Amino acid sequence: MTLSPQDACKMNREVCEMAPIVPVLVVNDVTRARPLAEALVAGGLPALEVTLRTPAALDAIKAMSEVPGGIVGAGTLVTPQDVKNAKAAGAKFGVSPGATDALIKACEDEELPLLAGAVTASEVMRMLEKGYDLLKFFPAGTSGGAPAIKAIGGPLPQVTFCPTGGVSLSNAMDYLSLPNVICAGGSWVAPGKLVDEGKWDEIETLAREASQLGK
Ligand code: 3PG
């Protein structure tokens, strides 16, 4: 069985509709994973992206996946092996800074719904040709930000974006108020220092603030 692009986008749309913000997480210590996920879910952010940038990431996905009410995906997918590892760890969706044919095929083969990154009209059109109409817009801040997404929505209104990279509490609404933005990703809800210090209440407060951003 393979996962069709249409089904992948449908599944990711459901994930993206759960809350306005998807936390982008870098987990260094697996013992932090579960309480971190619990704090974010309690704060109203159930969809969590764990980036595959640390040795602890795959174990963190496993640990976080046990938290009731959460849905955990893997970020920073670059190679087909990343996709296999993410799937084996229990990731329910996959996020990549970009997209390659090999990565797209691996996600379809492993039935891991891919949220692929694209920023230019040609990158977006290439993904549309393959059947993907829900994309990550990365790196959002340095790729023109909300005005760029608005401009792409002129000729390509059929594509919906999850901007990530440079999104913060103060500018998130610039993105979320656009009709072609479904949610945004951001790391600010789980600052490394608070995670290291186990300040779960403070992280829950940041999550609650983010979860109440109007869409
Ligand atoms: C990332 O891949 O690190 C994300 O885009 C998060 O970016 P941010 O730290 O600017 O939220």
Question: What tokens appear for 178 in the block?
Answer: 């656009």
Percent of the chain with pLDDT over 90: 99
The reply to whether 10 falls in a domain is yes
Residue type (1 letter), 44: G
Report which protein residue has its CA nearest ligand 1's atom 3: 165
Q: How far apart are CA 48 and CA 129, in angstroms?
A: 28
Task: Tell me whether residue 214 is in a domain.
Answer: no
Instruction: Decide if 43 contacts 207 (C-beta within 8 A).
Output: yes
pLDDT for position 167: 98
When pLDDT is cut at 50, 70 and 90, the band that residue 1 belongs to is confident
* Structure tokens given for 13: 């749309």
Q: Whole-angstrom distance between the N-terminal and C-terminal Cα of the chain?
A: 35
* Domains in the chain, number: 1
Q: Does residue 94 lie within any of the structural domains?
A: yes
- Report residue 160 as tokens: 């919906």
**CA-proximal residue: ligand 1, atom 7 (nearest):** 165
Per the structure, the complete domain to which residue 104 belongs is given by 5-204
Q: Which atom of ligand 1 is nearest to the CA of 141?
A: 10
Where b means 16+ CB within 10 Å and e means fewer, 32-41 reads bbbbbbbbbb
* pLDDT per residue as tens digits for the range 141-160: 999 999 999 999 999 999 99
Token pair belonging to 117? 């990154």
pLDDT at 82 over 70: yes
Q: What is the CATH number of the domain that holds 130?
A: 3.20.20.70
| Averaged confidence pLDDT in the chain | 97
Judged against a pLDDT cut of 80, whether residue 215 lies above it is answered with no
Beta bridge partners, 160, equal: 134
Tell me which amino acid residue 7 is.
Answer: D
Spatial CA neighbour of 180 closest among 163, 198, 200, 197: 163
**116 C-alpha to ligand 1 centroid (Å):** 14
Global model pTM greater than 0.95: yes
Q: Is residue 89 assigned to a domain?
A: yes
The residues near 204 (Cβ < 8 Å, ≥ 6 apart) are 39, 40, 42, 43
Residue nearest to atom 9 of ligand 1 (CA): 187
Catalytic residues: 49, 136
Q: Is residue 146 part of a domain?
A: yes
Q: Is residue 210 part of a domain?
A: no
Let me know if residue 54 belongs to a domain.
yes
What confidence category does residue 77 fall into, taking pLDDT thresholds of 50, 70 and 90?
very high
For residue 76, pLDDT over 90 is answered with: yes
- On whether the CB atoms of residues 117 and 99 are closer than 8 A, the answer is yes
**Burial group, residue 133, by CB count within 10 angstroms (0-12, 13-18, 19+):** middle
**What value does the mean pLDDT take over residues 38-46?**
98
Asked, for residue 212, whether it belongs to a domain, the answer is: no
Alpha-carbon distances of 215 from 53, 116, 212, rounded to whole Å: 30, 22, 9
The answer to whether residue 85 scores a pLDDT higher than 70 is yes
